[in-house]
Structure 1
Amino acid sequence: MGNRKRISPRNSPPPQVTKTVRKQESIDFSIGKMLVTVGVVVTVLALGAQYLYVNYYYLPNQISTKSKLPTVSRKSNPRIWGTYRSHLYFGLRARYETSPLFGMMWYRQPVEGQFPQLRHWCEQVIFLSPKYAWVLADGHSFGLQAIHDEPLDIFTDWINDGPVWTARVTTISNVDSNFELTSGNGFSKLLEQRTKGFNSKFEAVYGLSAKGYPDFYQELGKVALSNMLGTIGYAHGSNRVQSSYSSKHSLYGPHSLLFTCPSRSVFPRGFLWDEGFHQLLLMKFDPDLSLEIIASWLDTMNVDGWIPREMILGKEAELRVPVEFVVQRDNIANPPMLFYLIEKYLDHKVLKKFYPRLRLWHKWLNSTQWGKKSGTYRWRGRNATTIDELNPRTLPSGLDDYPRATHPTDDEYHVDLSCWMALSARVLSKLAKLAGDSQNEEQYLADYNYLMDLNRFDNLHWSQAKQRYCDYGLHSNSRDSSYSVASVSMKRVARASPKLQLVEDAFGYVSLFPVLLKLLPHDSDKLRIILENIKTERLWSDFGLRSIAPSSPYYKAHNTEHDPPYWRGSIWININYLMLAALKHYSSVEGPNRELAFGVYSDLRNNLVTNVAREFRRTGFLWENYNDETGQGQGAHPFTGWSSLVLSIMAEQYD
Structure 2
Amino acid sequence: MKFDYTLGFVRLLFPVISASFATGELNGEDSSLFWGTFRPNLYFGLRPRVPNSLMTGLMWHSLADYRAISETRHACEQGDRFEGYTWTEHDPRLGGIQVLNDTRMNVQLTTEWLKVSGGETGGSWAARISGKPIREDEPSSTAIYFYVGSDGLGSLELENEEDGNGIEGVIRFTGSTSHLGDFRLRIEDGPDVTYVTEGLHAERFSRKLGKTSFIGLPLQQGQVWKAKELLLRNIFQEAQPILSEYKDKDREPPSPAKAFCYPESFVGEFSFDIYYDAEDVKTKLDANGLTAGIKGFKNAFHERFLQKFPLPSTTPKDLIDFSKAITANLLGGIGYFYGTSIVDSSFTHDWDDDEMFNTGEKKSSHPALVEPRELFTATPSRSFFPRGFYWDEGFHLQLIGEWDNDLSLDILKSWVDLIDDDGWVGREQILGEEARSKVPPEFQTQYPTYANPPTLTMAVTAYIDRLRALPDEIDVNLGMDPTGQQVLKVPVLEPGLSAFHLSALRRHYHWFRRTQRGQIRQWGRKARSRTEAYRWRGRSETHVLTSGLDDYPRASLPHVGELHLDLISWMGFFTRTMRDIANLHWSEDNNMYCDVGIDEDDESHFVCHKGYISLFPFLLGLLDPNSPHLGSILSLIRDPDELWSPYGIRSLSKSHPLFGQGENYWRGPIWVQMNYLALSTLYKTYIPSPGPYQRQARDIYDELRTNIISNVFKEYQRTGYVWEQYDALTGEGKRSHPFTGWSSLVTLIMSEKY
TM-score, structure 2 as length reference: 0.67
Matched, 1:643 2:739: no
Equivalent runs, 1:393-432 vs 2, <5 Å: 393-426=543-576
Which residue number corresponds to residue 653 of structure 1? 753
Please tell me whether the aligned partners of residues 342 and 444 of structure 2 are also in contact (alpha carbons under 8 angstroms): yes
Letter of the 2:579 counterpart: M
Q: Deviations over 1:292-317 (max 9, x none)?
A: 00000000111100001111011111
Letter of the 2:582 counterpart: F
Q: Determine the C-alpha separation between the residues in 2 that align with 1:239 and 1:412.
A: 31
Which residue number corresponds to residue 213 of structure 1? 315
Q: Deviations over 1:527-560 (max 9, x none)?
A: 01110121235200000000000111221110xx
Given candidates 307, 312, 319, the residue that maps to 2:430 is 312
Aligned residue pairs, count: 521
Matched, 1:340 2:295: no
Letter of the 1:570 counterpart: P
Which residue number corresponds to residue 724 of structure 2? 624
Summarize the Cα distance change of 1:422–1:365 in structure 2 as closer, same or farther, 3 Å threshold.
Answer: same
Given candidates 102, 108, 112, the residue that maps to 1:157 is 112
Please tell me whether the aligned partners of residues 41 and 386 of structure 2 are also in contact (alpha carbons under 8 angstroms): yes
Matched, 1:540 2:644: yes
Please tell me whether the aligned partners of residues 132 and 269 of structure 2 are also in contact (alpha carbons under 8 angstroms): no
- The offset of 1:244, in angstroms, is 3.0
Please tell me whether the aligned partners of residues 319 and 713 of structure 2 are also in contact (alpha carbons under 8 angstroms): yes
Letter of the 1:583 counterpart: L
Which residue number corresponds to residue 18 of structure 1? none
Which residue number corresponds to residue 236 of structure 2? none
**Structure 2 counterpart SS, 1:107:** strand
Unpaired runs of 5+ in structure 2?
Answer: 1-27, 118-122, 141-265, 273-286, 348-363, 469-490, 521-529
Matched, 1:368 2:321: no
Which residue number corresponds to residue 135 of structure 1? 88
Letter of the 2:403 counterpart: F
Which residue number corresponds to residue 247 of structure 1? 365
**Structure 2 counterpart SS, 1:313:** coil
**Structure 2 counterpart SS, 1:216:** helix
Q: Determine the C-alpha separation between the residues in 2 that align with 1:595 and 1:114.
A: 59
Please tell me whether the aligned partners of residues 586 and 594 of structure 2 are also in contact (alpha carbons under 8 angstroms): yes
Matched, 1:147 2:100: yes
Equivalent runs, 1:75-224 vs 2, <5 Å: 76-77=30-31, 80-109=34-63, 111-112=65-66, 116-125=70-79, 128-129=81-82, 131-150=84-103, 151-162=106-117, 163-173=123-133, 174=136, 175=139, 178=267, 181=270, 184-208=287-311, 210-224=312-326
Matched, 1:574 2:574: no
Q: Determine the C-alpha separation between the residues in 2 that align with 1:112 and 1:191.
A: 36
Summarize the Cα distance change of 1:87–1:414 in structure 2 as closer, same or farther, 3 Å threshold.
Answer: same
Letter of the 1:165 counterpart: W
Summarize the Cα distance change of 1:503–1:159 in structure 2 as closer, same or farther, 3 Å threshold.
Answer: same
Please tell me whether the aligned partners of residues 83 and 90 of structure 1 are also in contact (alpha carbons under 8 angstroms): yes
Matched, 1:461 2:580: no
Matched, 1:234 2:336: yes
Which residue number corresponds to residue 660 of structure 2? 556
Please tell me whether the aligned partners of residues 32 and 94 of structure 2 are also in contact (alpha carbons under 8 angstroms): no
Q: Deviations over 1:589-609 (max 9, x none)?
A: 111111111011001001111
- The offset of 1:498, in angstroms, is 8.7
- The offset of 1:129, in angstroms, is 4.1
Q: Determine the C-alpha separation between the residues in 2 that align with 1:403 and 1:259.
A: 31
Q: Determine the C-alpha separation between the residues in 2 that align with 1:98 and 1:113.
A: 35
Q: Determine the C-alpha separation between the residues in 2 that align with 1:152 and 1:212.
A: 35
Summarize the Cα distance change of 1:554–1:500 in structure 2 as closer, same or farther, 3 Å threshold.
Answer: farther
Please tell me whether the aligned partners of residues 543 and 631 of structure 1 are also in contact (alpha carbons under 8 angstroms): yes
Q: Determine the C-alpha separation between the residues in 2 that align with 1:617 and 1:359.
A: 44
Summarize the Cα distance change of 1:113–1:204 in structure 2 as closer, same or farther, 3 Å threshold.
Answer: closer
Please tell me whether the aligned partners of residues 108 and 116 of structure 1 are also in contact (alpha carbons under 8 angstroms): no
Summarize the Cα distance change of 1:91–1:114 in structure 2 as closer, same or farther, 3 Å threshold.
Answer: closer
- The offset of 1:185, in angstroms, is 2.1
Q: Determine the C-alpha separation between the residues in 1 that align with 2:129 and 2:462.
A: 40
Letter of the 2:76 counterpart: C
Which residue number corresponds to residue 358 of structure 1? 505
- The offset of 1:110, in angstroms, is 5.3
- The offset of 1:253, in angstroms, is 3.3
Q: Determine the C-alpha separation between the residues in 2 that align with 1:512 and 1:333.
A: 20
Please tell me whether the aligned partners of residues 141 and 161 of structure 1 are also in contact (alpha carbons under 8 angstroms): yes
Please tell me whether the aligned partners of residues 78 and 94 of structure 1 are also in contact (alpha carbons under 8 angstroms): no
Which residue number corresponds to residue 587 of structure 1? 687
Q: Determine the C-alpha separation between the residues in 2 that align with 1:166 and 1:113.
A: 33
Which residue number corresponds to residue 618 of structure 2? 515
Please tell me whether the aligned partners of residues 78 and 96 of structure 1 are also in contact (alpha carbons under 8 angstroms): no
Q: Determine the C-alpha separation between the residues in 2 that align with 1:338 and 1:131.
A: 31
Letter of the 2:590 counterpart: K
Which residue number corresponds to residue 421 of structure 2? 303
Which residue number corresponds to residue 247 of structure 2? none
- The offset of 1:355, in angstroms, is 2.2
Q: Deviations over 1:209-248 (max 9, x none)?
A: x353110110111011100111210011122111036731
Letter of the 1:579 counterpart: A
- The offset of 1:80, in angstroms, is 2.6
- The offset of 1:322, in angstroms, is 0.6
Q: Determine the C-alpha separation between the residues in 2 that align with 1:262 and 1:415.
A: 25
Summarize the Cα distance change of 1:78–1:206 in structure 2 as closer, same or farther, 3 Å threshold.
Answer: closer
Who wins on radius of gyration, i.e. which is larger? 1
- The offset of 1:352, in angstroms, is 5.7
Q: Deviations over 1:348-389 (max 9, x none)?
A: 422464321111000000000000113210000012xxxxxx
Summarize the Cα distance change of 1:75–1:420 in structure 2 as closer, same or farther, 3 Å threshold.
Answer: farther
Q: Determine the C-alpha separation between the residues in 2 that align with 1:626 and 1:247.
A: 37
Given candidates 570, 583, 606, the residue that maps to 2:706 is 606
**Structure 1 counterpart SS, 2:370:** strand
Given candidates 380, 389, 395, the residue that maps to 2:537 is 380
Q: Determine the C-alpha separation between the residues in 1 that align with 2:557 and 2:313.
A: 50
Letter of the 2:535 counterpart: R
Unpaired runs of 5+ in structure 1?
Answer: 1-73, 384-390, 427-447, 477-496, 559-563
Higher helix fraction: Structure 1 or Structure 2? 1
Q: Determine the C-alpha separation between the residues in 2 that align with 1:133 and 1:297.
A: 26
Please tell me whether the aligned partners of residues 724 and 743 of structure 2 are also in contact (alpha carbons under 8 angstroms): yes
Summarize the Cα distance change of 1:412–1:180 in structure 2 as closer, same or farther, 3 Å threshold.
Answer: closer
Summarize the Cα distance change of 1:182–1:118 in structure 2 as closer, same or farther, 3 Å threshold.
Answer: closer
Summarize the Cα distance change of 1:136–1:79 in structure 2 as closer, same or farther, 3 Å threshold.
Answer: closer
Which residue number corresponds to residue 452 of structure 1? 579
Q: Determine the C-alpha separation between the residues in 2 that align with 1:360 and 1:141.
A: 36
Letter of the 1:586 counterpart: Y
Summarize the Cα distance change of 1:179–1:399 in structure 2 as closer, same or farther, 3 Å threshold.
Answer: same
**Structure 1 counterpart SS, 2:78:** coil
Q: Determine the C-alpha separation between the residues in 2 that align with 1:508 and 1:307.
A: 28
Summarize the Cα distance change of 1:594–1:141 in structure 2 as closer, same or farther, 3 Å threshold.
Answer: same
Please tell me whether the aligned partners of residues 582 and 617 of structure 2 are also in contact (alpha carbons under 8 angstroms): no
Equivalent runs, 1:469-484 vs 2, <5 Å: 469-474=593-598
Letter of the 2:113 counterpart: W
Q: Determine the C-alpha separation between the residues in 1 that align with 2:515 and 2:420.
A: 14
Question: What root-mean-square deviation, in Å, do the aligned CA atoms of Structure 1 and Structure 2 show?
Answer: 2.1
- The offset of 1:251, in angstroms, is 2.9
Q: More deviation in 82-91 or 367-376?
A: 367-376
Q: Determine the C-alpha separation between the residues in 2 that align with 1:81 and 1:340.
A: 28
Please tell me whether the aligned partners of residues 415 and 461 of structure 1 are also in contact (alpha carbons under 8 angstroms): yes
TM-score, structure 1 as length reference: 0.77
